[in-house]
Structures are given as C-alpha cells and as structure tokens.
C-alpha cells in the first residue's frame, strides 16, 4: 500500500487513533521552520530543522506511561497548552500492563489480555485529554504519522490538527510490568545494562515495525534528537530521586522499594542523559528543567485547591473514557482502569516538584546592586542590576546542576551559592548526587564549585534521595547548610565542617518532607523548619553556631508543602506555608522570649502550589495560572506575572523598594519593582 494515507483514515474521528498501514505510509511532518520535505513514497521522512510553533518558549514533557503527565505534571501541562507554545509529550513505553482494559472494579474478573489494543486505547485516551485541555473538545481530530528522529528508528507522532503545536511522540517500548520488581526487559534493565536492547510493542493498527528494539545508546540518541529538534525552553520529567519505602521488601530481589514506579525513575534518567548531550551541542536554547513527584503524592497532604483538582479530573475522566463516548476504534477510546476514578489513588489532588526551590536567589551585592541567580541548561548563571536594567545571563563555571540555586549573603557581603549536582552514571555504585557550593571572588566573579558531599555520607544509593539544601549566614562569617536525609530527618553542617544528623522530634511522626526553611534570629541562633506529616517541625541552636536540637512543638497546622522562614517585626520568628486543599498562604509567628506559635494571617487564596517567597512587606507565589502573583502588604494579589519556572524571589533594592524576580518559561529573567516603598508592584519587564 504505497502513497499518502487517506483523509478518511487521517481523521478517524477521535482524539488520537490513526490507523496506519503496515508499510509504505506517507508522512505528514507538521509545521516546521524549514521546508517540509516531500513524503517518500515507501516510508517515513527524516525529521530535520526546528519547530516553528514559538520563537520564545517550547515545552517537552518526557513521560513513561500515557497518563503520567495528566496525573503528575498537571496543572503545569495545562498552562503550557494554553500558552500557545510548542507543547510536546514524549511517551517512552506503551504502558501495556496486563493488557486488560477493564474498570478498576472489574479487575478480579477474567478478561482477555490484548496488550496492543490496550496500548492503543490508552493513547486514544491521552490524545482526547490533551485535545480537551487545548481546544475544549476531546474529539478534536489528530493527524498521525511515522517519523524518524534517528536513522533506523521510527516513532508514532500525533499532531492536534486544531493546534499543530501540540504533539505526542510514542516510542512504544515495553513497560516493566511491575512497579518495583526488577525485570531485565525494562527501562531499568536497559539503563543498567541487564539487556542490550528493549523491544517495542506496537499498538494495534500502527505502522511501527514489530519487534524493533532500542539499545541504551539509541534511546538516548533519539531523545537527544527530539530535544535538538524542538529546542525546548522547559523540559519536564518524572522523579529521578523517589523516596524509598520504610517497609522491608516482600521480595529480597527488589532491594530498596521506592514509592514510585520504576519506569518513572528510569525515564527521568534517560531524559537527563539526553539533556546533557543537548546542552553540550549548538542547538540548545536557554532552558530549565522540572522533575515531578509521582506515586508518593498519595501519602502527602493534598496541595491543590478544588478548582485545580476539578480541571485535572476533567482531563483524567476523558483519558479514562468515563463518558463511554464512541470514537470508532474497536481497541477502545480510553483507559478504563482509570475510568471515572481519577481521585481513587490520591495522585490527582497534588502536584509537586522534586526540587522545592528557594525564594532566596535574589540578593544585594556589596555595592548595593541586586543580583539574580538561576540554572539554565544545567549551569549556574547570574544577572546583575545596572542603571540601564539587568545585564546577563552570565555563566558561572560548572555543569550537571539541578533543581534551583539558593544565594546566601555572607556576613562579609559576599554571595555564596548552594546547589545540587548529579553525577550521572549507568552503574548504581557510581550514580550519585552531592551538595555543591561556590563563593563570590569579585564584583561579578565566582570561584570553583566545591563538593559538600551528601548528608548521609558516601553511599551513592542514599545520596540519590537527600533533599535540596537551604543555607543560613552566621554572624561569624560561616554559612550553615541543612538538608533532608535519606531517613527523613535533617542533617546540618557548616561549609568547613562535617554533616551532623539531627534528632527527629516526636511531632515529626515518621519523618519530614523536603522544603526546609532556615533563619538566624537576632541573637545569632539558627532555626530550621521542615514540613512534617502533622505540623511544622522546628530545630534551633542555643548559641550562635551551636548544635541544633528539637525545639518545643510548634502546634501549627500541617503544611501542604515547603516552609519559608524569616524574621518578623521586633525579631519575631515567622514561617509561611500553604494550607492543604486551599492553597492559602498561612503566616505564623513566635514572639521573642515565647515558645507559643500562632497563625497571625491567612491570605486570600492565590491558587497554585509550591514555595512562598517572602520578605518584609510582600509575598510572591505561583498562582492558579502558573504565573507569578505578588502581594504587597495590605493589598490584593497582583496576578500579572510571567509564566513561571521554579520559584519567584523577592528582595529590597538600595532605595528600599521591593523587587520581585521570576525565571520565565522562555528562559528569560523578569522583574517587577515597587515605584515607592509600600506601593503595589509595577509592570513586569524582561531583563536584557
């Protein structure tokens, strides 16, 4: 069957299922900046050039299974689709599971397994959900083609006709078919070298050749080619550092059992490897990366408000074929295992980043200029305020950095940066993470990055799980660093001392989550706060630079996420955090000389999720549109900031006016400033 596919086949009614002939199909490549090559009569066309969907921003989501971005990357996925930018989902596996497309309540019944059909149904569900979020119509048609990003390897590429910047790329590799049990034929086995090639399992009516496999190198090279093609300014992956279960494994072959799917973890590793190559080449634009927590969300306080959960459920209901719509595909129109039960497993009610971020990346230099610090393409960069705006971004030496930087202003006025670096290796004994730091050596210069090791010592497995560091400048000029440990407590060190584990107070329950806050009080004592399962957990020192011990219980409500600490009026300790299920910002204080905490204010809900950036007189957060919302003291939220990557920041300039900073999803720095102290913030401006 040569020649182009017919219009009737290309429509095939529903969001996403196009029947491709077994061989010789023509290929539609979508809108490109380069000239679209003429289709070859007997096969797919090699993809060249770059996408023409947005010159300012482009999103690539790398997922393991067809519902991963709907559960774990939404509402960020929703905001990306609404932006009009190129929004690409790369799904590595079929997610074929047991091949039975039945309702969750029917799992105990005998049903015929048909993995290729179940895969097609799941892809139908995903494309319907993406169409619904983008156009409001889950039946908006897609065009599907076979495309080659790497010579000798084909992918099934779906393009939403009403919004061709929205695309889905299916590699159709077999999944692990177990959440945690090791299996050589899996992404895990491919990464670790337990298999030389991982097979594909084409969905029904696909033109993908059956039995074709990917080597580890071919999979990384394919993802690299996709990144080079779309040149993303934001890449989103699943969690490369999942929490382990405290329970011993039922099967000793499993080793540590993690609170996530193994395919999620190893899909993130492959994405990290491809990103490293992409950034080393000449095709990369300035971009950021977000990693999203997976199954562990079910055990954490729900951090999305009702409106955000409702919109996620709409998309998941479409994916789950809850409306029993007719799509014309005998394989099925969605994933019945999800069905109308999107809330059943507790994943839809939350969205969390592996790196909780820091609001302290905007700091005054010794000469009074403000400097902003961030990560672009895995490297540290900074922008510096000038009379004519902001100069930058200027690269600070170093690579392999992840998450978000914190900038600490030392007692001597110099800036110290704290971050995390991953040493990406195929062998588990070599794959590790470490806390790193560098310090300012001149007005616009920084020294080399130095390793501070890992809170749990040299064990590479435990290093994969520690939390992101938070620092506090001590009066003697040193900086104290705190990070969550593998065991769920907190460890601290100075930059020139060893890590010391802190005792876990009873109020912490089984442990704390990442998202620490730290502040030094008026007496020079350090206070560290962490989100616990039932309350905010507090450690404090008795003397400047002294050991930290559990402080009296705060008695504060359970936080929905990270805790931000600062000094309030007259030296009061102040913490801010979001309330579960409402996204409201709660502010709690403890007066000097008192051990009693009380909630002193509750903001109007700004929507969104994540850490609060705070300084005397203002707040900055991610809002319900994925943008930066600002609130000057005593005023309403201003919801006009840029589409946000990571966490916003706040600082006062040399005139006492507050400046807000945000790293946009286009890789640019944006700032907004009060015209006079205490006034609402002015308009946002792009730096450079």
| 37 pLDDT above the threshold of 60 | no
Question: What CA–CA distance (Å, rounded) separates 657 from 300?
Answer: 38
Per-position b or e across 319-347, b if 16+ CB within 10 A of its CB: bbbbeeeebebebbbbbbbbbbbbeeeeb
Q: CB-based contacts of 459: which residues, under 8 Å, 6+ apart?
A: none
Question: What CA–CA distance (Å, rounded) separates 232 from 290?
Answer: 12
How far is residue 261 from each of residues 64, 112, 614, measured CA to CA in Å? 9, 25, 35
Joined tokens for residue 556: 């504060």
Give the DSSP letter string of 505-536.
PGGGTT-B-S--EEEE-TTS-EEEEEEBSSSE
Question: What CA–CA distance (Å, rounded) separates 366 from 416?
Answer: 13
| 318 pLDDT above the threshold of 70 | yes
| 562 pLDDT above the threshold of 80 | yes
Q: At what angle do helices 115-135 and 76-83 cross, to 10 degrees?
A: 60
Q: At what angle do helices 216-230 and 262-280 cross, to 10 degrees?
A: 60
What are the residue ranges of helices labelled H in 352-398?
Answer: none
Least confident of 15-19, 169-173, 184-188, 333-337: 15-19
| 46 pLDDT above the threshold of 70 | no
How many Cβ atoms sit within 10 Å of the Cβ of residue 61? Answer: 26
Report the share of the chain in percent with pLDDT over 70.
91
What band does 49 get if pLDDT is binned at 50, 70 and 90?
A: very low
**Per-residue model confidence as pLDDT tens digits over 227-276:** 999 999 999 999 999 999 988 777 766 678 999 999 999 999 999 999 99
What are the φ and ψ backbone dihedral angles of 318, each rounded to 5 degrees? -65, -45
Average pLDDT for the chain: 90
Q: What angle do CA 67, 298, 506 make, to 5 degrees?
A: 155
Q: What is the pLDDT of residue 553?
A: 96
Q: Shortest CA distance to 66 belongs to which of 127, 107, 109?
A: 127
| 1 pLDDT above the threshold of 80 | no
| 290 pLDDT above the threshold of 80 | yes
How many Cβ atoms sit within 10 Å of the Cβ of residue 504? Answer: 21
Tell me the average pLDDT across 149-171. Answer: 96
Q: Which residue has the tokens 């954490």?
A: 300
Q: Is the dihedral of CA 570, 572, 575, 579 positive or negative?
A: negative
Joined tokens for residue 604: 């109007």
Q: Shortest CA distance to 612 belongs to which of 517, 547, 485?
A: 517
Joined tokens for residue 470: 């938070």
What band does 108 get if pLDDT is binned at 50, 70 and 90?
A: low
Q: Which residue has the tokens 């005139």?
A: 655
Q: Which CATH architecture has domain 7-52+62-257+271-319?
A: 3-Layer(aba) Sandwich (3.40)
Question: What CA–CA distance (Å, rounded) separates 296 from 157?
Answer: 31
What band does 452 get if pLDDT is binned at 50, 70 and 90?
A: very high
How far is residue 74 from each of residues 309, 347, 432, 568, measured CA to CA in Å? 9, 11, 29, 35
């Amino acid at each position: 069957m040569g020649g182009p596919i017919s219009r009737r086949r290309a429509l095939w009614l529903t969001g996403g299922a196009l029947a491709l002939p077994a061989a010789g199909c023509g290929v539609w490549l979508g809108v490109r900046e380069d000239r679209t090559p003429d289709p070859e009569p007997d096969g797919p066309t090699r993809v060249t050039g770059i996408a023409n969907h947005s010159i300012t921003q482009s999103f690539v989501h790398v997922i393991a299974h067809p519902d991963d971005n709907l559960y774990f990357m939404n509402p960020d996925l929703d905001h990306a689709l609404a932006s009009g930018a190129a929004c690409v989902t790369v799904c590595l596996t079929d997610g074929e599971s047991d091949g039975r497309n039945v309702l969750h309540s029917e799992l105990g019944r005998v049903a015929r397994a048909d993995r290729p059909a179940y895969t097609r149904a799941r892809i139908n569900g995903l494309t319907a959900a993406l169409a619904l979020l983008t156009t409001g119509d889950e039946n908006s048609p897609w065009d599907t083609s076979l495309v080659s990003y790497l010579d000798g390897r084909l992918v099934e590429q779906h393009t939403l006709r009403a919004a061709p910047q929205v695309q889905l790329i299916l590699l159709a590799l077999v999944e692990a078919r177990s959440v945690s049990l090791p299996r050589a034929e899996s992404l895990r086995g491919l990464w670790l070298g337990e298999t030389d090639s991982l097979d594909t399992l084409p969905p029904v009516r696909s033109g993908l050749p059956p039995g074709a496999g990917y080597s580890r190198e071919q999979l990384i090279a394919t993802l690299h080619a996709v990144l080079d093609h779309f040149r993303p300014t934001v890449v989103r992956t699943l969690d490369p550092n999942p929490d382990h279960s405290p329970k011993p494994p039922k099967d000793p072959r499993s080793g540590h059992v993690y609170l996530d799917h193994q395919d999620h973890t190893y899909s993130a590793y492959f994405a990290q490897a491809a990103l490293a190559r992409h950034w080393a080449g000449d095709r990369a634009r300035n971009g950021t990366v977000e990693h999203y927590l997976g199954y562990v969300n079910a055990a954490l306080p729900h951090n999305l408000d009702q409106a955000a959960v409702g919109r996620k459920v709409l998309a998941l209901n479409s994916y789950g074929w809850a409306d029993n719509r007719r799509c014309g595909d005998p394989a099925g129109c969605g994933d019945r295992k999800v069905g109308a039960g999107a809330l059943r497993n507790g994943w839809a009610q939350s969205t969390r980043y592996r790196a909780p971020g820091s609001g302290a990346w905007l700091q005054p230099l010794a000469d009074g200029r403000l400097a902003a610090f961030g990560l672009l393409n895995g490297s540290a960069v900074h922008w510096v305020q000038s009379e004519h705006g902001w100069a930058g971004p200027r690269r600070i030496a170093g690579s392999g950095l992840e998450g978000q930087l914190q900038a600490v202003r030392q007692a001597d006025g110099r800036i110290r940066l704290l971050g995390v670096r991953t040493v990406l290796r195929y062998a588990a004994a070599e794959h590790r993470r470490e806390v790193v730091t560098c310090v300012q050596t001149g007005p616009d210069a920084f020294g080399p990055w130095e390793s501070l090791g890992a809170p749990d010592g040299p064990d590479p497995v435990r290093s994969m799980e520690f939390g992101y560091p938070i620092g506090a400048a001590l009066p003697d000029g040193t900086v104290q660093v705190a990070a969550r440990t593998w065991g769920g407590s907190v460890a601290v060190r100075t930059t020139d001392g060893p890590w010391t584990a802190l005792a876990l107070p009873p109020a912490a329950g089984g442990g704390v989550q990442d998202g620490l806050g730290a502040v030094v009080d008026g007496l020079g004592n350090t206070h560290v706060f962490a989100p616990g399962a039932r309350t905010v957990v507090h450690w404090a020192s008795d003397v400047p630079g002294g050991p930290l011990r559990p402080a009296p219980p705060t008695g504060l409500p359970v936080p929905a996420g990270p805790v931000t600490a600062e000094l309030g009026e007259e030296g009061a300790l102040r913490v801010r955090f979001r309330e579960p299920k409402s996204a409201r910002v709660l502010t709690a204080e403890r007066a000097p000389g008192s051990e009693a905490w009380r909630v002193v204010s509750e903001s109007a809900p700004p929507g969104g999720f994540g850490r609060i950036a705070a300084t005397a007189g203002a707040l900055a957060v991610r809002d319900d549109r994925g943008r930066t919302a600002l609130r000057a003291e005593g005023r309403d939220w201003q919801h006009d900031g840029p589409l946000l990557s990571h966490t916003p920041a706040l600082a006062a300039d040399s005139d006492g006016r507050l400046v807000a900073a945000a790293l946009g999803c286009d890789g640019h720095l944006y700032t907004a400033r009060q015209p006079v102290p205490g006034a609402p913030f002015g308009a946002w401006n792009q730096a450079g």
